């Protein structure tokens, strides 16, 4: 016999369907307003004559240090990217620390250093913050929250809304998928796989800025928790069109492919922290690819699929053997805490 779910499960935080339902049924219900209801990565709000993008994100990753970064670098990249994919120029960040009693100063110092270095790289200033220390066992070593604001030009406010997408538009990603989730998983679990998989954790505001300055983009989103599959499913639902992707065009590192084969995961469901999905008119494809290819953070970019006037609201993958299958959002929890 099934019981009605009464408590929060880990799956409620996984970025997939369960979390979506939680947000709809609890948070949106109580906080309802027209800006929040857009459910975008960053809210776009009017402040005087300017349009400001405002976002917040909490980081609870385990382990704190992983190949390619640490919680400090991640805390900057995550928030900077949420602003950048909303079409904003990120400007200022806040940083809050919740620290468990007994946490080594040395680790905190390294994390603060990376935070500062990444903020400098992204060209944002950390202008305010907060520190709390809790009893041993009341949080897992260290949690960080960052919030950020940036300016949005008037001609870029459409990007979060996915307004003018039509069949034939193309979907681009700036590189290989699944690196972050798999590298963290490998660092955390005792697999003893010898791999060279490194998290893709990076601030994307400069590369995105270049694309926006030189071409036309209809929609962008960073495929973090829940992976590419979840972002594309949300988009397909929002625009009520179909999305088709080609497995053979998906850039996936061999190490990630192998780990996914062994563990039974789909790279499309694995988190990324330095990737952006771009939807644009077909005519802008070559120019966008050209810009991405010339940037360290876009070298392995690819057009991975297109918007179609078929199977509305669904994402379909054409596989290498000629078969087709529906790609769902992640349901429940696939991986341990990864961001």
Partner 1 sequence: MKYVDEYRKKDLIISISEKLKAVSEKEMVIMEVCGGHTMAIHRFGLAALLPPNIHLISGPGCPVCVSSQHFIDMAMAYSKIPGIIITTYGDLIRVPGSSTSLEKERANGSDIRIIYSVLESLEIAKMNPEKKVVFLGIGFETTAPLTAAAVLQAKSEKITNFYVLSAHKVMPPVMKALVEEGVKIDGFIAPGHVTAITGTAIYNDLALVYKLGVVVAGFEPSDMMQAVLMLAVQIESGNPKVEIQYQRVVHNEGNLIAQRILNKVFDLRDDRWRGLGTIAQSGLKIRDEFSQFDAEKHFIIEIPESTEPKGCICGQILRGLKTPAECSLFGKKCTPADPVGACMVSGEGTCATYYKYRS
Residue 277 CB, nearest approach to partner 1 (Å): 22
With contacts defined by CB under 8 A, name the span among 73-81, 154-162, 277-285, 321-329 that binds partner 1.
321-329
- Cβ burial of 58 (10 Å; 0-12, 13-18, 19+) is middle
Residue 323 CB, nearest approach to partner 1 (Å): 2
**At a CB cut-off of 8 Å and minimum separation 6, what does 292 contact?**
172, 174, 207, 211, 298, 299, 301
C-beta of 16 vs 175, nearer to partner 1: 16
196: contact with partner 1 by CB under 8 A: no
Report which DSSP code applies to 3: P
310: contact with partner 1 by CB under 8 A: no
Residue 210 CB, nearest approach to partner 1 (Å): 33
Alpha helices of 87-149 — where are they, by DSSP H? Answer: 105-122
- Cβ burial of 38 (10 Å; 0-12, 13-18, 19+) is middle
- Identify the residue whose tokens are 């300055």: 213
102: contact with partner 1 by CB under 8 A: no
CA pair distance 242, 168, nearest whole angstrom: 10
Residue 322 CB, nearest approach to partner 1 (Å): 6
How crowded is the C-beta side of 56, counted as CA atoms within 13 Å?
9
Q: Among residue numbers 247 through 286, which ones bind partner 1 (CB under 8 A)?
A: 254, 257-258, 261, 263-264
With contacts defined by CB under 8 A, name the span among 97-105, 130-138, 188-196, 286-294 that binds partner 1.
188-196
326: contact with partner 1 by CB under 8 A: yes
325: contact with partner 1 by CB under 8 A: yes
- Cβ burial of 171 (10 Å; 0-12, 13-18, 19+) is buried
Residue 289 CB, nearest approach to partner 1 (Å): 25
Residue 243 CB, nearest approach to partner 1 (Å): 14
Q: Which of 1, 29, 34, 106 binds partner 1 (CB under 8 A)?
A: 1
Report which DSSP code applies to 12: G
157: contact with partner 1 by CB under 8 A: no
CA pair distance 252, 304, nearest whole angstrom: 11
Which residues contribute to the site for partner 1 (CB under 8 A)? 1-3, 5, 7-11, 16-18, 189-191, 254, 257-258, 261, 263-264, 316, 319-326, 328, 331-332
């Amino acid at each position: 016999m099934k019981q009605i779910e009464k408590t929060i499960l880990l799956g409620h935080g996984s970025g997939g369907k369960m979390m979506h339902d939680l947000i709809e049924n609890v948070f949106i219900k109580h906080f309802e307003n027209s800006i929040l209801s857009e459910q975008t990565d960053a809210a776009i709000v009017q402040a005087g004559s300017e349009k400001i993008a405002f976002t917040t994100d909490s980081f609870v990753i385990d382990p704190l240090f992983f190949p390619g970064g640490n919680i400090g670098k991640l805390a900057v990249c995550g928030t900077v990217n949420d602003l950048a994919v909303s079409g904003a120029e990120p400007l200022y960040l806040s940083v809050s620390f919740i620290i468990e009693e007994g946490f080594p100063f040395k680790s905190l110092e390294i994390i603060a250093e990376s935070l500062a270095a990444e903020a400098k790289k992204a060209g944002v200033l950390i202008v305010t913050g907060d520190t709390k220390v809790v009893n041993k066992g009341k949080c897992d070593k260290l949690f960080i929250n960052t919030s950020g604001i940036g300016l949005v030009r008037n001609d870029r406010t459409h990007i979060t809304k996915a307004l003018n997408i039509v069949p034939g538009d193309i979907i681009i990603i700036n590189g290989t998928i699944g690196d972050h989730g798999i590298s963290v998983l490998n660092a955390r679990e005792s697999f003893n796989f010898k791999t060279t998989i490194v998290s893709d954790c990076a601030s994307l505001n400069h590369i995105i800025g270049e694309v926006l300055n030189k071409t036309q983009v209809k929609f962008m989103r960073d495929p973090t928790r829940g992976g590419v599959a979840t972002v594309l499913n949300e988009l397909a639902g929002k625009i009520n069109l179909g999305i088709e992707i080609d497995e053979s065009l998906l850039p996936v590192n061999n190490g990630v492919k192998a780990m996914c084969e062994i563990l039974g995961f789909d790279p499309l469901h694995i988190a990324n922290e330095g990737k952006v999905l771009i939807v644009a008119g077909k005519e802008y494809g070559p120019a966008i690819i050209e810009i991405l290819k010339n940037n360290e953070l876009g070298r392995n970019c690819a057009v991975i699929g297109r918007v179609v006037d078929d199977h509305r609201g669904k994402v379909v993958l054409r596989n290498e053997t000629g078969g087709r299958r529906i790609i769902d959002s992640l349901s429940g929890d696939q991986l341990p805490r990864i961001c």
